[in-house]
């Protein structure tokens, strides 16, 4: 048993040595940390995300509201006979323009001419009787003073004179009535405008009490345009006018521009004439009526048009590009804002009208704030960004058309 010590009793003696591992572990940790620092120092830093922005600047903007509407005639006259008779002539061309007072039809006047002549004869008789009664009164007036006739005879002569005067007035009324009916045999245009197709023919019998029309005259210049304006839009407009956010024109009129059904613009401008005082409970809209010039008779009653109402000028409007606005899960509009420390934050805003490619901001943004318009896909709240472009958003024409926002107003 070489190399193994023995004690005196012949047993093997085992010697134990203890080693400490703490220094080894500390050294290992230090080496790993040093290696990690070297790797961290050697790894390249990610640069800030580059974003394009616009700086909000107040600017005057002409605020418009575009709504569908229908044209309506300025005046309509239903031509009907006022006497009974047979139609002898039609004196107009269907579809032509007529003027007030122009004769349209001729009804057989023979019967009414006879009545008129009879009334004139009765008037002549009444006037003759009146002349005799007056002469008798003049004679009796002298004779009664001389007691040549009785007072009763004189009173009877005076009464006869008054009776003759009453007969004259009655006869004159009959003459005038007969003359009016004779005039009604000539049917005239009550207004100027375009007459439609005739609903009767020559030889037809018309009556004074008939409910059907013989023709219809429509005045086309000017012409009405009726638009259904949402009540909420009307409330917003009145509130902004009261707060001074929107200023009307000097003459107080609201200009109206039309777009025809085929998309072409209408060359003449009109103005708003009135707004109904009652709100339609089924649609929550108010009827707004505009008057449009129509010298070329291009607009006809019942046509579908788009009316653009000029609400006024917002002198301190803030416009944000539509590409900068996103929607959250609730559909509310929101934008990315670059803060003074070059970090970005997501902010909810309120928008009103769409003007060209921009939204009109009603709340949530202030002048001078920077809004991200490009590079939003790679940014997160609180991340550092670098600004590529910083110019005010002032490229919108004051006369641009405005449309209502879909949601988030």
What structural domains does the chain harbor? 59-72+220-404 (2.40.30.170), 81-107+188-212 (2.40.50.100), 109-184 (1.10.287.470)
Torsion angle (degrees, nearest 10) of CA 156, 161, 162, 163: 80
Task: Specify whether the CB–CB gap between 272 and 253 falls below 8 A.
Answer: yes
How large a percentage of the chain has pLDDT more than 90? 49
Burial 191-205, CB ≥16 within 10 A → b, else e: bbbbbeebebeeeee
Residues 27-46 have pLDDT tens digits of 565 565 555 555 555 445 67
Mapping DSSP to helix (H, G, I), strand (E, B) and coil, where does residue 156 land?
Answer: helix
pLDDT-derived band at 315, boundaries 50, 70, 90: confident
Angle at 167 between CA 165 and CA 172, to 5 degrees: 95
Which of 337, 394, 373 is closest to 53 using CA atoms? 373
Residues 196-231 have pLDDT tens digits of 999 999 999 999 989 999 999 999 999 999 998 888
Q: What is the CA radius of gyration of the chain?
A: 49
pLDDT recorded at residue 232: 84
Q: CB under 8 Å to 134, separation ≥6 — which residues?
A: 161, 164
pLDDT-derived band at 12, boundaries 50, 70, 90: very low
Residues 56-98 have pLDDT tens digits of 999 888 877 888 999 999 999 999 999 999 999 999 999 999 9
Q: 379 vs 164, 210, 233, CA distance in Å?
A: 108, 79, 36
pLDDT-derived band at 11, boundaries 50, 70, 90: very low
pLDDT recorded at residue 15: 47
Q: What tokens does 202 get?
A: 């020559």
């Amino acid at each position: 048993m070489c190399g193994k010590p023995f004690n005196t009793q012949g047993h093997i003696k085992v010697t134990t040595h203890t080693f400490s591992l703490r220094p080894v572990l500390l050294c290992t940790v230090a080496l790993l940390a040093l290696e990690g620092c070297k790797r961290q120092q050697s790894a390249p830093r990610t640069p800030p995300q580059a974003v394009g922005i616009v700086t909000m600047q107040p600017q005057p903007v002409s605020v418009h509201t575009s709504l569908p509407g229908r044209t309506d005639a300025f005046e309509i006259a239903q031509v009907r006979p006022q006497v009974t008779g047979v139609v002898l002539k039609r004196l107009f061309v269907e579809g032509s323009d007529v003027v007030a007072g122009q004769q349209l039809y001729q009804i057989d006047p023979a019967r009414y001419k006879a009545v008129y002549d009879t009334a004139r004869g009765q008037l002549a008789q009444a006037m003759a009787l009146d002349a005799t009664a007056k002469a008798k009164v003049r004679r009796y007036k002298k004779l009664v003073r001389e007691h040549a006739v009785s007072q009763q005879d004189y009173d009877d002569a005076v009464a006869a004179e008054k009776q003759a005067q009453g007969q004259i007035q009655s006869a004159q009324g009959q003459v005038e009535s007969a003359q009016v009916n004779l005039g009604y045999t000539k049917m005239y245009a009550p207004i100027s405008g375009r007459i439609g197709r005739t609903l009767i023919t020559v030889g037809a019998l018309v009556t004074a009490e008939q409910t059907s029309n013989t023709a219809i005259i429509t005045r086309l210049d000017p012409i009405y345009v009726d638009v259904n304006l949402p009540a909420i839009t009307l409330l917003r407009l009145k509130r902004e006018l009261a707060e001074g956010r929107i200023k009307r024109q000097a003459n107080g009129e609201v200009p109206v521009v039309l777009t025809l059904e085929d998309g072409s613009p209408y060359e003449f401008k009109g103005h708003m004439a009135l707004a109904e005082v009652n709100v339609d409970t089924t649609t929550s809209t108010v009827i707004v009526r505009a008057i449009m010039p129509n010298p070329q008779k291009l607009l006809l009653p019942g046509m579908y048009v788009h009316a653009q109402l000029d609400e006024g000028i917002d002198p301190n409007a803030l416009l944000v590009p539509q590409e900068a606005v996103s929607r959250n899960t609730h559909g509310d509009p929101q934008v990315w804002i670059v803060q003074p420390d070059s970090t970005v934050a997501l902010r909810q805003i309120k928008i009103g009208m769409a003007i060209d490619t921009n939204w009109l901001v009603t709340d949530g943004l202030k002048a001078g704030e920077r809004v991200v318009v490009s590079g939003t896909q790679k940014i997160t709240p609180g991340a550092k960004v670098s600004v590529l472009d910083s110019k005010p958003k002032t490229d919108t024409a004051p006369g641009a058309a405005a449309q209502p926002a879909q949601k988030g107003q």
